[in-house]
Chain A
Amino acid sequence: MSRENDSFIVLSINHEVAPLDVRERYSVDDSKANDLYALLHNTGGVSESLVLNTCNRFELYTKLEKDANIECVVAILAEFYGEPSDKVLEHLHLRSGREAVQHLIEVSAGLRSQITGEAEIFGQVKSAYAESQNRGYAGKLINRVFQKGFQAAKLIRNSTTVGEGQINIANVAVDLASKIFGDLKSAAVLSLGTGEIGEKTVKALRSRGAKDFGIASRSQERAEEVASKWGGAPHVLADLQSYLPQYDIVIASVGTDGAVITHDLVKKCAARRRGRPLFLIDLGLPRNIEQSCDAFDNVFLYNLDDLASIAEENIAQRKEAVIESTNIAANKAQHIWEAIAKRGLL
């Protein structure tokens, strides 16, 4: 490894190399991060630094001073955590130079996330960069590496399928709803049942613009209680026929032996819907909606298995895109690193 390569390093403790209890031990909150920054820059050997801390990773990006090496940083970390250096090294994932840049791009693009392609990490890396800048620990090298790294990560997310498709059931349902109704602002949502999965789906729909909600439960009291908590109009399950036609998206998750929504009920309500599509999401076990409801042209019925199967297909599609994305990250990292060397930032 050349001296130039050694000047920019990343030390990472993440879900790929360390179990949860280890990650918990090395996790830092804001106050601890502040202490770590202070220790790094007061001890000497480090001229620029950035701490990234998420639920699945602790990472430290540093530019070393000319006479410093990786061991110096490991020693600082050992002092910070109060553990011997060799124990800290045991769980550390070390990268330097171009490989460190590639690691940053891969992390930012979600390629190294536990849920491949998740988008939240990009915001977390950006926040960590802003924090380092605000504290004055990001210099020319870290600025260059991170700004160019963000561009590369965006390119990966925009030009591959690594971030496409939802991978949890509630979000898959919301995606399908938007493929039926487009803008969800005009779609009315009814939740049959007040369980956790129904709540998650309602929240996901609300976050994507849905505004009109109805909450139905067996008892008026329970319906009112949950409706005031989630937001929406309370309904009693027994009166379903009277209010079902008002709703476009129905999430059914009621504990019941028989179907709550039957073929006949949907047929009766179709006439009052003026041709608008009806999206039925059956999250109940046993199922709450008769399968034959799907026979109507304008009715789209998805049950738990259907949604889970789509989530699995999306995960598989994301994994397929990882190879292509990693190649892009490698090429971009090479390019960024060469440009940094030319500019004399090392």
Chain B
Amino acid sequence: MDNTLFGLADKQWIWIATVVFASTFVLGTYSAIKLHRRTGRPYVLALVTFGWILQTIGLYARGLQYGGCPLSNQFELVQFMVWSAIAIYIFVGPSFRVSLLGVFTSGFACLFSILSMVFEHWDNPSREPIFGDSPWIETHAALALFSYGVFGVLTLTSVMYLLQSRSLKQKKVVGGLFPFLPSLVELVSINGRLLAMGFIILTVSLGIGYSYFIEDLSSVLTVKLASTVAVWLAYGIILFLRFKLILSSKKFAWVCVIVFIAALLSLAAVDREPETETPSPQASILNSSTGDS
């Protein structure tokens, strides 16, 4: 299943990218906690971007065999989600001007990347061809995974909010990560924007998926459909509650963390294939593509 590009197999590129993410995380954390120094944003951004380019090469090499996005098994789904989260940090993150976000994102990328490689069965042979002839199915799958990346970054900024809030409540404001965390009001604003962005992307993705689903209702397993709609609904409800100011900022942050964990767990559930029946080509397409959503 390995594909080689520039002399290295796809997984080798991804391993190297993971090492870069891990190094960035260790360096940034050590710098902040032990040396009490702010790791420069350009420095972290450069390292994370370097890791992201390596990961992109790995995923591109992997995608060559499908002629599209590599989204055919859990390993690829997680890798694509990590790739999306890093992309959000690189292209949108600087506008947030949040110190430590790069360090947190690299830690997130490193953790999930390692998990996806440690569990070898996540990288089972794919159900090829995964997208058939329709570029819209591929768009649907890629967008859905991209929204997970956005929700991943939202989870990180929510964790930052909870850490900052806890430090201020407990009056432990000297040393540690406190001097480097952004203000509560900034984090609340960022969280709101990320949630809206992720929800819109997921909605568009599901809209595209729905137009195919109604043509063949049996093409998507009930468990996948239920999980997908549950994740979408959960984020929709959070957005509504936040908009109506029913959730406090702290509860909002907690709910974002919990829903993201649930969404990740749902990835395993929705990636299952029917055991007793051989799916039609279109069902196969939808099963693969909704595995992420």
Interface residues of A (CB under 8 A from B): 159-161, 164-165, 176, 178-182, 274-277, 294, 297-298, 300, 302, 306, 309-310, 313-314, 317, 321
Is B174's CB under 8 angstroms from A300's CB?
no
Interface residues of B (CB under 8 A from A): 35-37, 164-165, 168-169, 171, 173-175, 178-179, 181-186, 188, 245, 248-251
Is B179's CB under 8 angstroms from A164's CB?
yes
Q: How far is the CA of A277 from the CA of B36 in the complex (A)?
A: 28
Given A179-B164, A181-B185, A182-B185, A274 and B245 touching (CB < 8 A)?
Answer: yes
**What 14 new A-B contacts, CB under 8 Å, besides A160-B36, A161-B36, A297-B250?**
A165-B174, A165-B179, A182-B186, A275-B188, A275-B245, A275-B248, A275-B249, A277-B249, A294-B169, A297-B249, A297-B251, A298-B248, A306-B171, A309-B171
Most buried by A among B35, B37, B164, B184: B184
B186 / chain A contacts, CB cutoff of 8 Å: 182
Smallest CB separation, B132 vs chain A (Å): 47
Smallest CB separation, A250 vs chain B (Å): 15
Q: How far is the CA of A178 from the CA of B164 in the complex (A)?
A: 12
Is A159's CB under 8 angstroms from B37's CB?
yes
Is B184's CB under 8 angstroms from A297's CB?
no
B183 / chain A contacts, CB cutoff of 8 Å: 178-182
Most buried by B among A178, A274, A306, A313: A313
Is B184's CB under 8 angstroms from A317's CB?
no
Is B168's CB under 8 angstroms from A180's CB?
yes
Q: How far is the CA of A179 from the CA of B175 in the complex (A)?
A: 14
A160 / chain B contacts, CB cutoff of 8 Å: 36
**Pick from A277, A297, A310, A321: contact of B174, CB under 8 Å:** A310
Is A179's CB under 8 angstroms from B248's CB?
no
B37 / chain A contacts, CB cutoff of 8 Å: 159
**Pick from A179, A182, A276: contact of B173, CB under 8 Å:** A179
Q: How far is the CA of A297 from the CA of B171 in the complex (A)?
A: 14
Smallest CB separation, B179 vs chain A (Å): 7
A164 / chain B contacts, CB cutoff of 8 Å: 36, 179
Q: How far is the CA of A176 from the CA of B178 in the complex (A)?
A: 11
Smallest CB separation, A125 vs chain B (Å): 24
Is B174's CB under 8 angstroms from A314's CB?
yes
Smallest CB separation, A101 vs chain B (Å): 25
B185 / chain A contacts, CB cutoff of 8 Å: 180-182, 276-277
Smallest CB separation, B184 vs chain A (Å): 5
Q: How far is the CA of A306 from the CA of B179 in the complex (A)?
A: 17
Is A182's CB under 8 angstroms from B248's CB?
no
Given A165-B174, A310-B173, A180 and B184 touching (CB < 8 A)?
Answer: yes
B181 / chain A contacts, CB cutoff of 8 Å: 179
Smallest CB separation, A283 vs chain B (Å): 16
Q: How far is the CA of A286 from the CA of B245 in the complex (A)?
A: 35
Q: How far is the CA of A164 from the CA of B180 in the complex (A)?
A: 12
Is A300's CB under 8 angstroms from B169's CB?
yes
Is B179's CB under 8 angstroms from A297's CB?
no
A274 / chain B contacts, CB cutoff of 8 Å: 245
Q: How far is the CA of A274 from the CA of B173 in the complex (A)?
A: 26
Smallest CB separation, A204 vs chain B (Å): 17
What are some 25 contacts across the A-B interface (CB < 8 A)? A161-B36, A165-B179, A179-B164, A179-B168, A179-B173, A179-B183, A180-B168, A180-B184, A180-B185, A181-B183, A181-B185, A275-B188, A275-B249, A297-B249, A297-B250, A298-B248, A298-B250, A300-B168, A300-B169, A306-B171, A310-B171, A310-B173, A313-B174, A313-B175, A317-B175
Q: How far is the CA of A176 from the CA of B248 in the complex (A)?
A: 20
Q: How far is the CA of A160 from the CA of B37 in the complex (A)?
A: 7
Q: Which residue of B lies closest to A302 (CB)?
A: B171
Q: Which residue of A lies closest to B35 (CB)?
A: A159
Q: How far is the CA of A275 from the CA of B187 in the complex (A)?
A: 13
Q: How far is the CA of A317 from the CA of B174 in the complex (A)?
A: 8
